[in-house]
Chain A
Amino acid sequence: DAKTTQPNSMESNEEEPVHLPCNHSTISGTDYIHWYRQLPSQGPEYVIHGLTSNVNNRMASLAIAEDRKSSTLILHRATLRDAAVYYCILRDLIQGAQKLVFGQGTRLTINP
């Protein structure tokens, strides 16, 4: 299973941008980078994914390094509802079935 490395925790202030880093030095050419988040007492929730190019959606942006060995999830204006554990995942395929291997994630705290 491919591995990712994230800081255990980060803290930011409300309405400020947040940059959540992830290292994935063992990434292979076909691995997609997925980000999920888990709010307290809820199931994980998809945030964004990408392969090589930077990606934007309504929730966040994903900046992928040119060598693809690291990526950064960007929350442009954090709110209190963004407080969650954020997981950076390298999507694996088993006989065509998608397999997500979750790491420890980054616990994001948002200060009012």
Chain B
Amino acid sequence: DTAVSQTPKYLVTQMGNDKSIKCEQNLGHDTMYWYKQDSKKFLKIMFSYNNKELIINETVPNRFSPKSPDKAHLNLHINSLELGDSAVYFCASRPGWGSQETQYFGPGTRLLVL
């Protein structure tokens, strides 16, 4: 049973294209996140949603638009892909609001923009 799943696992695309990455968690958690890990392996938070409401937006370009159709899903749509968008994108979820519970991460989506 996969707790946090992401699709696709690998994504290779051309510059200028629009693509989406999907994330689903079956843990019943209220809060979900998107992180980006670049080529230097730094892991940075991008967005956080709590019960489908955007809570954290870390100065990410407008080309990135998260969408949460329900609290079990947080998808990431990227418009006009650029070379610098190549990275590994991780989705994560956490049980509660303002609590100390841990975050559970997905396996990552490896995006390569050519």
Residues in chain A within 8 A of chain B (CB atoms): 32, 34, 36, 38, 41-46, 49, 85, 87, 91, 93-102, 104-105
Which listed residue, A43, A96, A101, A105, touches B90 by the CB 8 Å rule?
Answer: A43
Q: Which residues of B contact A100 (CB under 8 A)?
A: 45, 103
What DSSP secondary structure best describes chain B's contact surface? Answer: strand
Complex alpha-carbon distance, A105 and B55, angstroms: 26
Which listed residue, B45, B99, B105, B107, touches A99 by the CB 8 Å rule?
Answer: B45
What are the 8 A-B residue pairs with the smallest beta carbon separation, nearest first?
A43-B105, A96-B98, A46-B102, A102-B43, A97-B55, A44-B105, A43-B90, A97-B48
B43 engages A99 (CB within 8 Å):
no
Given A94-B56, A98-B94, A102-B42: A46 and B48 interface contact (C-beta under 8 Å): no
Does B50 sit at the interface, judged by CB under 8 A?
Answer: yes
Q: How far is the CB of A82 from chain B (nearest CB, A)?
A: 18
- How would residues 31 to 75 of chain B score, 1 for a CB under 8 Å from any chain A CB and 0 otherwise? 100010000011111001010000110000000000000000000
Q: Which residues of B contact A44 (CB under 8 A)?
A: 43, 90, 92, 103, 105
Which listed residue, A45, A85, A94, A95, touches B41 by the CB 8 Å rule?
Answer: A85
